[in-house]
Structures are given as C-alpha cells and as structure tokens.
Chain A
C-alpha cells in the first residue's frame, strides 16, 4: 500500500493526520459551504452587508420564494423530461451496439468501434450548427424530445465503449455453448448476456443521468423558453434577472445541484465504477 499506512506512523503524525483530514475537507468545500449558508441567509442581512457574520435568522423563505415566484420547479421537471428518456435511450441502444461489437468478429468491427469512441470526444461546437438546423427543420426546436434525441445519440458513443468492454470481459464460453445448443442470437442477447449486464446498466445510468442533468451547452442551443428549458439554462437566465441577489442565486444553485448529488450518494459504487473504467487496466 502506498503511502505507508498511517497506523504504522508515530503517534504524533497520526494525530496530525486526524486533524488535517477535516480541515482539508473544509477548505476544499469552502466555496460550496459558503453558498449553502448564503442560501439560508435572510435578504435583509445581505442588504446590510452582513455576508459572513451571524445571520439574523434562518431564511427558508429564500427557497419558498424561488419555488413560488420563479419557474424553477418547472425547469427541474423539464430537466427530468430530458434526462430520463436519454438514460433509457442511450443505455438501451448501447446494450445492442456493445453486444454486436463485443461478440461478433465481423469485418469493420474495430472501425465501427473506433468511430463511436472518437465521436464521443469531438467538441460540441463542430456539431452545433447542423444539429440545431436539423432540429429546427424537424420542428423539434425548443422541445424536450428534440434535446433528448440529440443526447441519446451522443451518449451512445460513450456507452458503447463501456458496454463493449464490459461484455468482452464476460466468459465467452457461455455464448459459445448456447450457440452449439442452437439458441438464436437474439435469445443469447436477451437471456444470457442481458441478465449479466446489471452492474454496467446501473453504472451507466447514474453517469448519463449526471452528465445530462448538468448539460448546459445543448440546453442553450436547442431550447429557449420556460416550457422546455432545463434547470442549467433556466438557472443561468434567472441569474440574469436576480442581479446580485445572492441569497436567491445560492438557493437556486443548491436546488439545481441536488438531484445529481443525491444520485451520486445513492449509487456511489456504480458511479465510481463507471468513471474509473480503464483507470486500472490497459
């Protein structure tokens, strides 16, 4: 193990480590904590310049205000409407593409695979004008499905990379013996491979959920009104209206950050397994 386990160190060092941990964490999350505290500070405190002193009270009204007086609830729903279909769509498509690329040694296999991988890394800007133009022409501009369809397609690249490597690591004998038994290719996919894919599906679902929830660029390019804008774009436009009303900006930020944070804490193991794919082998 590296570094040497702290238990083997001198008692003084151990003591320092125990104190250093929470201090380091506090410093690391300092900006976030500041925002969280500001979101609960009454507006009158900020008006009097009391930014960091004792708050004169806990102001849950900031949160009540943003939910009743601004469309933030609507923005959150819009985000869900984009995010959930994207998770289902991209995981579903990539299960099939990943299966095809992992199990069959057809000509051009590696080429198709690399196209998916490379496409996943391109800058969004090279797609922007044509994708926006196409979405407009299909009458899907400013709709949740226009945005979701693009996300499904783009995330399929990343998901295919993940699924294909996951299926490659499964014991191939399973598939081979099923073939000898005369099981059809579709049934092999459905009854043999799919049940083994649960961890991969879970990992990708939480990752894609977070990526899409946090997406700002495409939300700006493909939507514009309250009726379809997701929370990231919504928060940005609210920020324009709330000039320097930091108690509201903070409350809005915390609300926008909450769903992915919850997702992360509930599904931590899967989340990290997904992100660190390839960090250990290869």
Chain B
C-alpha cells in the first residue's frame, strides 16, 4: 500500500511541484485539532500526574496564583508501602482482575447457547446484551437492592435456603465479591456479544470436516472452534482487564469503599485521597494513580505489541 502511494505521488510531483508540499502538509493539518485536544487532556496530564506524585500538595494556589506544592521525593511512594488501606486496595484489585476473567467462559457459554437460528433469537440476543447498555450507576443500584438486608431478593433466597440471611454489602469478607458479581453482569454481556460475532465467522467447512472426523462437544470446542475465536478472545481479555481495573462506579455507588474500607480498590482509594473527605492529598493520590497506571501499562504494552506485529505483517 505504502509503495503504491509513493509511486502515485512522484508521478504527480514531476508535473506539479506544489502538490508534493500539499501532500506532506495535509496529514498534519488533519491531525492538528485531534492531536491538540488529546495532548492537552490525555498525554500531558499523565506527565503532570507522574511529576505531582513526588510532591505534597493540597490542590491550592497562593494569592499570586503560584503552585504551593512541596517537593518530597519518594516520600509518597514510601508511605504507600506501609499504608494498610493501599494494601487492601491492591489485593481487591487483584481479586477483581482474577474474578472478572470469569466473564470469558460465562460469556462464551451464553454465546454458544444463543448461537441458533430459531424464531425470535435476535430479540433474545439483544435482551441478553441489555445489562451492558445500562449505566454502571444503575447496575450498582439494582444490585444494592438485590442484596439489601431483610427484603433484597438474594437475601431472601439465602434466608430461605440457609435459614439465615446474609447482608453481603455489610460484610467485610464478602463485600468485594458482591460488587464483583454486579460488575460481571454487564461484562459477561459484553463478552457474549464479542463471541457471538466471532461464532458467526467460524468457518463452516472446518466444522463440517471436523464433524466428519468424529469430533464433537468439548473436543470440537477446544480444538476447532476456540482457535478460530482467538481474535474475539483477545479483545475480550483486553476489555475485561480494563473493566476490572476501572472499577470505580460500582464501588462508589454500592459501598463507598466500606464497610471499614474493605471494598476499596485503587481507583476509588485514589479518588478518596485526592478529593474525598480525608482532605485534598493530590500528591499522594497521584502516587496511587501512578501505581494503577503502571499495572495497566503492562496490559497496554501487550496490546500495542500485538497490534504492531499485525501492522508490520500486513
């Protein structure tokens, strides 16, 4: 593709010199507005946050409009190491990451269940996808109601089965799992739609050939179908990891990090430190954000690496 462009351009250049300039300049003119916005609001703030994590700052400026932060070097990071709330958040993030991965097999299961051509199946597919379209705030409220002590559906169900209800969101040992379950609901729906699209594109010839060879059930799924679903699986892993690490809304709505801070995750703890009732510790908050960013970077680099490989192979 690139070669073809160049030869086409040089043919034009020999006739008219200014066109060459226009072609050189054009991409940057088209990029300028988008790049400007993206740099100001995304790229530059990342640099600023990293810098800020070495400062102690309450978010205020003095009367002359000067920054009042004080450089403290690694002090914020040293404090993180001995901060029990940070440790809880980190562990909870790990729980989120691991348990969110359940969205993959469950989403695949529902996709396989729905991958039929019977009457009305399209409506079923869209209704199964429903939870993903709804705001996480609403999902959080729905599940808070579902778990509510004394009258919540799940509470009553457990009471009926076990004789004694469990107030999930008030139990420090269970609360994180309760929130993760709420988060899984839309996430499974998302993974399901990815796999449904993937299943649509599985080569029928290979399935038929495998069937003639006697493959069926689990073996068919594992050796024939799943390898063909790899692009869908890849995207599903990426969006699930991001979903798990971005888990702010549900924690904020369902428990505000409680009880006793036991359901905090890094994204929520950062917010609490920088803008919450504990005062405006911007530098400390930034340090937490940098840790979260570093964790996310592991996955982002993996994604970019794969994209780069695909691009250069083409």
Residues in A97-125 with C-beta less than 8 Å from chain B: 97, 99-101, 103-106, 109-110, 112, 114-119, 121-125
Q: For the complex, what is the distance from the CA of A257 to the CA of B186, rounded to whole Å? A: 13
In the complex the two chains form, is B197's CB within 8 Å of A272's CB? Answer: yes
Q: From DSSP, what is the main secondary structure of chain A's interface residues?
A: helix
A-side interface size class: 35 or more
Nearest residue (CB) in A for B23 is A185
Chain A residues within 8 Å of B238, by CB:
121
Q: Is A63 an interface residue (CB 8 A)?
A: no
Minimum C-beta distance from A150 to chain B (A): 5
A-B contact pairs, 11 of them (CB 8 A): A31-B153, A34-B153, A97-B35, A101-B27, A104-B5, A128-B49, A156-B34, A180-B8, A189-B30, A236-B253, A261-B130
Note all chain A residues with C-beta closer than 8 A to B6.
105
- Which residues on A sit within 8 Å (CB–CB) of B82? none
Shortest beta-carbon contacts, A-B, top 10: A153-B41, A130-B45, A214-B135, A100-B30, A97-B34, A104-B27, A185-B26, A153-B37, A125-B289, A276-B197
Q: How far is the CB of B310 from chain A (nearest CB, A)?
A: 6
**Interface 9-residue window, one of A64-72, A197-205, A246-254:** A246-254
A60 interfacial contact with B, CB 8 Å: no
Known A-B contacts: A49-B151, A128-B49, A216-B137. Give 10 more (CB < 8 A): A2-B225, A3-B112, A100-B31, A104-B5, A106-B27, A180-B8, A217-B271, A232-B249, A268-B126, A279-B194
The 8 Å CB contact of B135, one of A29, A232, A265, is A232
Does B133 make an interface contact (CB < 8 A)?
Answer: yes
A260 neighbours in B (Cβ, 8 Å): 133-135
State which of A179, A186, A189, A250 has its C-beta within 8 Å of the C-beta of B12.
Answer: A179
Give Cα A260–Cα B131 distance, bound, in whole angstroms. 11
- The number of chain B residues touching the other chain, given as a range, is 35 or more
Interface string of A1-41 (1 = CB under 8 A from B): 11111110000000001100100110011111011001000
Among residues of A, the one whose C-beta sits closest to the C-beta of B211 is: A4
Partner of A100, one of B26, B133, B270: B26
Q: Are A124 and B235 in contact (CB under 8 A)?
A: no
Residues of B within 8 A of A249 (CB): 141, 145
B80 within 8 A of A: no
Q: Could you tell me the distance in whole angstroms from the C-beta of A115 to the nearest C-beta in chain B?
A: 7
* Pick from B52, B112, B137: contact of A236, CB under 8 Å: B137
At the interface, yes or no: B76 with Cβ under 8 Å from chain A?
A: no
Contact of A280 with B by CB under 8 A: yes
Shortest B101–chain A CB gap in Å is 17
Name the residue among A7, A103, A268, A279 with the largest chain B CB count within 10 angstroms.
A279
- B292 contact set on A, CB distance < 8 A: 123, 125-126
Residues 93-144 of B at the A interface (beta carbon under 8 Å): 112-113, 115-118, 121, 124, 126-131, 133-138, 141-143
Question: Interface readout for B32-57 with A: 1 if CB under 8 Å, 0 if not?
Answer: 01110110111111101110100000
